[in-house]
């Protein structure tokens, strides 16, 4: 059973991992990479959320391959990256915290028993100790630096809720159309064999997304959320291939004029 926290208890203890991993780079870098679903960690006090370890190795536990892909792109471009270390089943760091699937009771037909009927104190502790410190650090980085571009790196499963998702990669956006469409045009010209999704496998909405509305649109920084189908990221060769594809698309975008959102 999941341990219920008392109001004055902390969720994270001395033996829990840090909330995020920060990859630093040349201070003059123009790009910040973000990976909200990089990790699979669960706070010790939550006793594994009452599900098997196998669950955390599936797409509902984290974005398969996204952390390695983010690190590889950061190394190739010599840019900073911030990766969130806790499983999306503990709290989804790309969801508004007032949404029910921020802490999901069910994910892709799998019951997460440790998230059933949690108290307000339990919910708030996950927000205060994981979600908020992660996004506060992103905000701090954006406040302290003059990035021209911020990119969120995600992966998606080839099938969800019984529906096939045939795209190799998707670029998700809303107000900032220029950035993602630049990436899509570059990939279409240089990799015509790819099935490229525009706002696939889902659409950005205020009630289901955080990165694009908050870090991208509110700050009016050029941005895109990139989703790579996770069967492309199961080994090093696939990760290396996609790191090169995305890195070159980013470099091409930055070589173009007017690479920031107009106010």
pLDDT at 163: 86
Domain of 91: which CATH number? 3.40.630.40
pLDDT at 263: 36
Q: Does a structural domain hold residue 132?
A: yes
User: Residue 134 has which token pair?
Assistant: 């992660």
Q: Torsions phi, psi of 15, nearest 5?
A: -100, 0
Burial string for 220-251 (b: 16+ CB within 10 Å, else e) reads: ebbbbbbbbbbebbeeeebbeebbebbbbbbe
Question: Which residues constitute the domain of residue 52?
Answer: 20-254
Q: Does a structural domain hold residue 163?
A: yes
Q: Does a structural domain hold residue 13?
A: no
Q: Does a structural domain hold residue 66?
A: yes
What is the torsion angle, in degrees rounded to the nearest 10, for the CA atoms of residue 156, residue 51, residue 90 and residue 83? -50
**Is the model's pLDDT at 8 over the cut of 70?**
no
Arithmetic mean of pLDDT, 107-135 = 96
Q: Does a structural domain hold residue 41?
A: yes
Residues of the chain above pLDDT 70, percent? 94
**Is the model's pLDDT at 55 over the cut of 70?**
yes
Q: CB–CB of 102/114 below 8 Å?
A: no
Lowest-pLDDT range of 18-22, 25-29, 162-166: 25-29
Query: Given CA atoms 46, 50, 52, 57 in this order, what sign does their dihedral have?
Result: negative
- Give the list of residues 6+ apart from residue 181 with CB closer than 8 angstroms, or none: 171, 198
Q: Does a structural domain hold residue 8?
A: no
Q: Does a structural domain hold residue 152?
A: yes
What is the tally of structural domains in the chain?
A: 1
Q: Does a structural domain hold residue 216?
A: yes
């Amino acid at each position: 059973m999941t341990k219920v926290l008392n109001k004055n208890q902390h969720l994270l203890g001395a033996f829990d991992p840090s909330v995020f991993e920060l990859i630093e780079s040349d201070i003059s870098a123009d790009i910040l990479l973000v990976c909200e679903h990089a990790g699979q960690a669960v706070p010790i006090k939550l006793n594994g959320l009452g599900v098997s370890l196998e669950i955390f190795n599936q797409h509902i536990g984290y974005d398969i391959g996204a952390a390695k892909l983010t690190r590889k792109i950061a190394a190739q471009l010599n840019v900073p990256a911030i990766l969130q270390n806790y499983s999306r089943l503990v709290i989804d760091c790309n969801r508004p915290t007032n949404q029910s699937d921020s802490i999901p009771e069910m994910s892709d037909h799998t019951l997460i028993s440790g998230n059933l009927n949690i108290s307000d104190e339990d919910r708030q502790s996950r927000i205060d100790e994981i979600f908020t410190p992660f996004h506060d650090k992103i905000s701090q980085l954006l406040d302290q630096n003059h990035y021209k571009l911020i990119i969120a790196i995600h992966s998606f499963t080839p099938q969800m809720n019984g529906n096939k998702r045939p795209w190799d990669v998707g670029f998700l956006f809303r107000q900032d159309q220029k950035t993602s469409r630049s990436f899509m045009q570059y990939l279409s010209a240089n990799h015509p064999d790819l099935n490229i999704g525009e706002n696939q496998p889902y659409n950005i909405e205020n009630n289901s997304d955080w990165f694009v509305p908050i870090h991208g649109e509110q700050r009016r920084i050029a941005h895109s959320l990139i989703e790579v189908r996770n069967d492309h990221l199961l080994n090093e060769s696939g990760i290396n291939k996609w790191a090169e594809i995305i890195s070159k698309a980013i470099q091409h975008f930055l070589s173009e004029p007017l690479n920031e959102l107009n106010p």
